[in-house]
Chains A and B, each alone.
Chain A
Amino acid sequence: GAGVSQSPSNKVTEKGKDVELRCDPISGHTALYWYRQSLGQGLEFLIYFQGNSAPDKSGLPSDRFSAERTGGSVSTLTIQRTQQEDSAVYLCASSLWGGRADEQFFGPGTRLTVL
């Protein structure tokens, strides 16, 4: 079956512009995660959605970052007024239930470059 898909695969933007990154999780997975992979910080958790529960936003680095998940499926991560330090690979993952023992399935990522 189809895995987690993300779009675009690459995004180059200018400092100060807003960007939207999209994630399509595996059908039937109730939990969705966003992570960021950068050279300096490694892999960092950003935000978690599970069903209709309030999202866990504890990993968002600043209020320029926001995310939503519509209809319990597709998610969009928005970065406003991008900065050069936002350059990274943004990974989306989904899991069946979101429990601490669940396997997370990762998408290929969106490579964001802020000039």
Chain B
Amino acid sequence: GDSVTQMEGPVTLSEEAFLTINCTYTATGYPSLFWYVQYPGEGLQLLLKATKADDKGSNKGFEATYRKETTSFHLEKGSVQVSDSAVYFCALSSSSGNTGKLIFGQGTTLQVKP
């Protein structure tokens, strides 16, 4: 079945450091890919998405590119801030059927220190 694998955390960075969180997926066809973020004490919210190969999703300085050839959707940010500390979830929505149900990775905790 479809699945998502994320790099394990926690990831601890200093402010202004470069961030990469790896995400790879297994799915048939062309799923939609998402990054959701959960800030401390808050609910899950969409960070960015990409719906077809080579699409780049971006938001709040974060970027991720849908790579069909490597089945990856790595999250990057050039300069992290303390306020980026959160749990990040990579997810896919299968192209088979059209329910939109999300399959999530295990989540990666990011801690940014001043």
A residues near B (Cβ < 8 Å) are 3-4, 31, 33, 35, 42-45, 48, 50, 56, 59, 91, 93, 95, 98-109
Contact = CB atoms under 8 A, between A and B. Distances in A.
B106 interface: yes
Contacts, number: 66
B98 A98 contact: yes
B49 A103 contact: yes
Contact of A31 (B91, B94, B100, B107): B100
A103 B43 CA distance: 14
Counting contact residues on chain B (CB < 8 A from A), the size range is 20 to 34
Interface string B68-82: 000000000000000
Nearest to A3: B43
Given A100-B31, A100-B93, A106 B100 contact: no
Contacts of A48: 99-101
Nearest to B91: A43
